[in-house]
Amino acid sequence: MSQSPHPITPLSQAEPNNATAGAGRFAPSPSGDLHLGNLRTALLAWLFARSTGRRFLMRVEDLDRVRPGAREQQLADLRELGLDWDEDLMVQSDRLEHYRDAVTRLESAGLTYECFCTRREILKAPSAPHAPHGAYPGICRNLTPEERDARRAGGRPPALRLRAEVGSFTIDDLLHGSYSGMVDDLVLRRGDGTPAYNLAVVVDDAAQGVDQVVRGDDLLSSAPRQAYLAGLLGLTAPQYAHVPLALDQEGRRLAKRAGAVTLGDQKALGRTPRQVLAMLATSLRLTAPDEEVDLAGLLDRFEPARLPREPWVITLPTTPPQSP
């Protein structure tokens, strides 16, 4: 995708991947139960991977908020739908040294700088000339050593940002085609030392041999940043497929306020996991309403070109359907 103009040892040389085949993945954050939209995306990621002969992997992205027991419940729900995965579970909190290594390589190449900005300061600052809308305005990009020392003396620990050399980057998406999106000086490491999402996901996908990323289209705008960062680290960006979200009847992203949105909720209404799978399959135009399905049958019918491109607006009845 992109080659760094600076000499930098490819990360793949430091963390070799022994996988012989490509892979897809599903990578939830264990902050709560998976809702029907999450389950639908997991099903799609499984179908994309299995239909192309790829391995299907699971990763727990637990660098942010974690709810006790959420990981176990998420995995149990996926298994109840029949989804399976290859190899051991990858857990981000076990991989901090790998993120540190990636940051060190970028630092050594002169591709980082410290940032002392608060969210409020960033929001109030005028945009940098010619910067894409919403980009970090570069407040700390060119601080002098004296200015950095003065800011450190204030006691606020700095975040570490990428010194990006482009304003946008283009990726190819299986559903959206060619897509150009903003690349700004994204955060690599937060002020508290936690690796940022955009860094961790790039490092982890490469380590797992993931060459196909299927996820919600709310993350489409982050793909150019991640593909650009992958190029700087000497890694190959994956093939992307950003799929439509699930929305409630008000057009909002699906959340608990919409009603019985989790597999547990649906089971409490009397639906079986197989009936929930049928609901998801119908929303993807893979089955007729109330048709009995299994994963093998869905895999036989799966054609990405026929998938709906509009969001799935969910109407949640309060009574279970009759068994066909």
Residue 259, domain member (yes or no): no
d(C-alpha 9, C-alpha 233), whole Å: 7
Residue 31, domain member (yes or no): yes
Residue 199, domain member (yes or no): yes
Residues with Cβ < 8 Å from 318, sequence gap 6 or more? 259, 260, 269
Instruction: Report the domain count for the chain.
Output: 1
- Provide the CATH number for the domain around residue 189: 3.40.50.620
Known binding residue 29? Answer is: yes
- Quick one: pLDDT at residue 141? 95
Known binding residue 25? Answer is: yes
- Mapping DSSP onto H, E and C, the string for 71-100 reads HHHHHHHHHHCCCCCCCCCEEHHHCHHHHH
Average pLDDT over residues 95-111: 98
Q: Is the pLDDT of residue 163 over 80?
A: yes
- Quick one: pLDDT at residue 54? 97
pLDDT digits (tens, 9 = 90+) for 183-215: 999 999 999 999 999 999 999 999 999 999 999
Q: Average per-residue pLDDT in the chain?
A: 90
pLDDT digits (tens, 9 = 90+) for 32-75: 999 999 999 999 999 999 999 999 999 999 999 899 999 999 99
pLDDT digits (tens, 9 = 90+) for 54-66: 999 999 999 998 9
- Quick one: pLDDT at residue 20? 55
Known binding residue 65? Answer is: no
Residue 262, domain member (yes or no): no
Cα separation of the two ends of the chain: 49
**Domain containing residue 23:** 17-246
Known binding residue 296? Answer is: no
Joined together, the tokens standing for residue 8 give 């930098």
Q: Is the pLDDT of residue 4 over 50?
A: no
Nearest CA to 64 out of 30, 34, 95, 96 is that of: 30
Residue 109, domain member (yes or no): yes
Q: Is the pLDDT of residue 320 over 70?
A: no
> Would you say 61 and 38 are in contact if contact means Cβ atoms under 8 Å apart?
no
Known binding residue 28? Answer is: yes
Residue 142, domain member (yes or no): yes
Residue 289, domain member (yes or no): no
Q: How confident is the model at residue 2 (pLDDT cuts 50, 70, 90)?
A: very low
pLDDT digits (tens, 9 = 90+) for 255-277: 766 677 999 999 999 999 999 99
- Quick one: pLDDT at residue 182? 94
More confident residue, 130 or 102: 102
User: pTM of the predicted model, to two decimals?
Assistant: 0.89
> Which residues does the annotation mark as catalytic?
256
To the nearest 10 degrees (0 to 180), the angle between helices 96-108 and 197-208 is 110
- Quick one: pLDDT at residue 133? 62
Q: Is the pLDDT of residue 286 over 80?
A: yes
Joined together, the tokens standing for residue 202 give 């790039």
d(C-alpha 195, C-alpha 192), whole Å: 9
Rg of the chain over CA atoms, in angstroms?
21
d(C-alpha 318, C-alpha 147), whole Å: 60
Known binding residue 132? Answer is: no
Average pLDDT over residues 98-107: 98
Residue 182, domain member (yes or no): yes
More confident residue, 14 or 145: 145
Joined together, the tokens standing for residue 138 give 């570069």
d(C-alpha 112, C-alpha 188), whole Å: 9
- Quick one: pLDDT at residue 121? 86
Known binding residue 61? Answer is: yes
